[in-house]
Structure 1
Amino acid sequence: MNHKRTKRTTTLLCGATLLLAGVQGPALAAPSLPAQGLRTAQDVHAVQASEASHTVDLVSTADGFTAPATTRPGLTTFRASTTQAGKGWIGLARPKDGAGWDDFLDALSRALSNTPSDVPQGAKDLDATATLLGGLVIHPGRPGSFTQHLDPGRYLLFDYLAVGDAEPRYRWLTVSGDAVAQGLAPTATIVSKNVPGAGPRFEVRGTLRAGRPLRYVNEIPGQVNELLFVKIAEGTTEADLKAYFDAMPDDGTFPPNSPFVSASLGSLHLSTGRSSVVQVPLESTRYAALTWSKDATDGIRLVKKGLFTIVDVG
């Protein structure tokens, strides 16, 4: 691994360490997919899927992670679990124009860098290199799933928490054959979008239910983005969260007195106009829905610009 790559992947892993401690969300996005994922809010509402979905199993252990080399096109539910703490956040991407793993990792690392000046060009390079199709933030004993529409082609599955390892965990997935059209039916949709006069915001549609699927849609132009859920201390308000985020420096460190009382669960990054149906083990309580992604125009964390909200899970 060369020095340039080591420096960039270390930046990603620093963010991941804080997230595992329940303080920070992932700093990563999954590679991009020219193939159509669950496309936009209008498209995905037309999908009335059954629970008997076409599934692919992803398993992470101390020895690595296993994933199939092939699957069929259409709506595909990826079921993921991990038995090793600090590993198993599997992302999905489709590289463009023959881009390889190193091309993807280099662009991803700069797009999600904790150095704000690296982010704008990194975001442009990432958009040219891959389409991010989500993935899962999970932990041992807390599995999850996400659903994507796969067109025929070649995709990349990778472990975000292992990108800085001497032997990064990634697998190529070839999609071919007859299409399927089944997937998980969500009870709610959360959309990240730009609101005129306000800036980036989350919009919640429907009702979040414990243990049930939800749909995440990224509508922010030119911006990869994730959706994370973190339990908050009793009595925490959105004003408290704003004050905490305002106190954050831009170098990836976090102030003391965190309002968060759990590790994060949720969806890894999506490219603009993409969506994913995600099922993670949320409980019936209050969470902060947030992102640790940086603004592709200036490298500032989007939570500092208002991209967070408090949600009640029933």
Structure 2
Amino acid sequence: MLTAVLAAIAITAPAHAGAAAGGTVDITVTPSGFTAPETVRAGTLTLTVRSQDPQGAWVGLVRLRPGVRLERYLRHLKQAMDDDPRTSVAGGRAVSEDVVMLGGAAAGHVPATVTTVVTPGEYHLVDFRDVQEPDFAGRVRPLRVTGPAGSPRSSSPSPSPQPSSLPQPSPAPAVITATDSGFVTPRRLTSGSPVLVVNRSSQFNEAMLMPVRPGTTTADLDAFFSGTGGYPFTAGPTGVVPMSPSRAALLTAALPPGEYALVTWVRNLRTGRMLAQEGMRELVDITPADGSTP
């Protein structure tokens, strides 16, 4: 199951704030980085991310595979986020071998909460926005997940949470599914209501909601991603950062009602092209929580 709510932690709080009760991690991101607790309990884990950085924040949770050192993963992650498709694809494939990606929250003008499931072991919190910073390695925060009293420590990656294992709000949450053929999503989502994001594609993937100019069409998105049209977005992304295949997470964000594009900025690790360029993009409406017309 996945549950919890995160509140921002003070900018002046120490980088290692001790154990966080109840499987919650509260994170505020600033231009100089973020702080986080160093220990949480196994089971449902919720990350709430708030950004005081104008560039926003993309805070993800990863678990190194056995035998992989953090330095190796960070080197490959920098390659994966390179602008050269050849470098980024090679880096992305290496990252897939280095870590299990459990998702996390992309937040900009509003906070975002993402809930997932973790087993005991050693993890790391990474703000992918910091990858080009000279002190990037120093900004990564270790996170130890401890089990119930008497439970053995697991050295294996966390099992992939199935949608049925996540918290089931009432009414049932909307579901966004990433597949190798594109996103499967409702046309309308309610602001502030939980959305279950499931990665059924064959590689790591993300789900980002970005506001667009009123009246934006699918043809406008096609033109932008093909390089023949203008920039349709009016603000940065809110959503779930990359998750490994077969993982799921619950996203909650009180986005302003309006028109949005659901996109991924991840590259296809076979073709080298951005998945959004290959059609992985959809238009959705965010409707007010009270059901009124935005």
Query: Is the structural similarity TM-score above 0.5?
Result: yes
Give the 5 Å matches for 1:179-218.
183=167, 185=169, 187-194=173-180, 200-205=181-186, 208-218=189-199
Inter-partner Cα distance in structure 1 for 2:25 and 2:182: 32
Q: What are the superposed Cα offsets for residues 129-179 of structure 1, whole Å, 9 maximum, x if unpaired?
A: 001111122125x21111010011110101222222232211111111229
1:287-306 correspondence runs (5 A)? 287-306=260-279
Give CA-to-partner distance per residue, 1:242-282, whole Å, 9 cap, x none: 1221127xxxxxx6x21212222111111111111112232
Specify the alignment match of 2:147 in structure 1: 177
Gap runs ≥5 in structure 2: 7-21, 150-164, 288-294
Q: Which residue of 2 aligns with 1:35?
A: none
Secondary structure at 1:105 match in 2: helix
Structure 1 portions without partners, runs of 5+: 1-46, 195-199, 249-254
**Pick aligned residue for 1:163 from 119, 128, 131:** 131
The equivalent of 1:283 in structure 2 is: 256
User: 1:62: how far off?
Assistant: 4.8
Letter paired with 2:95: L
User: Is structure 2 residue 210 aligned with structure 1 residue 240?
Assistant: no
Q: CA offsets, 1:217-244, max 9 Å, x none?
A: 11111x2211111111122111221122
Shift of 1:188: 0.9
SS of residue paired to 2:190: coil
Letter in 1 for 2:145: V
2:162 — aligned with what?
A: none
Q: What TM-score, normalized to structure 1?
A: 0.73
Distance 2:3 2:35 in 1: 27
Give the Å deviation of 1:83: 2.2
Q: Tell me, what secondary structure is at the counterpart of 1:121?
A: helix
State the 4+ residue runs in structure 1 displaced beyond 3 angstroms: 47-54, 61-64, 181-186
Distance 1:146 1:306, change over 3 A: same
1:309 matched to 2:282: yes
> Aligned pair count?
253
Mapped partners of 1:271, 1:81: distance in 2: 23
Using the alignment, how far apart are the partners of 2:267 and 2:215 within structure 1? 28
The alignment status of 1:96 with 2:82, answered yes or no, reads no
RMSD: 2.6
Query: Post-superposition shift, 1:91?
Result: 1.2
Q: Which has the higher helix share?
A: 1
The verdict on how the C-alpha distance between 1:151 and 1:206 changes in structure 2, with shifts beyond 3 A counting, is: farther
The SS at the match of 1:89 is: strand
Aligned to 1:33: none
Q: Distance in 2 between matches of 1:135 and 1:49?
A: 13
The Cα shift of 1:183 comes to 4.8
- With over 3 angstroms needed to count, the CA separation of the structure-2 counterparts of 1:234 and 1:85, relative to structure 1, is closer
Q: 1:300 and 1:152 mapped to 2: Cα distance? A: 36
1:267-307 deviation per Cα after TM superposition (whole angstroms, max 9, x unaligned): 11111111111122322211110011111002101111110
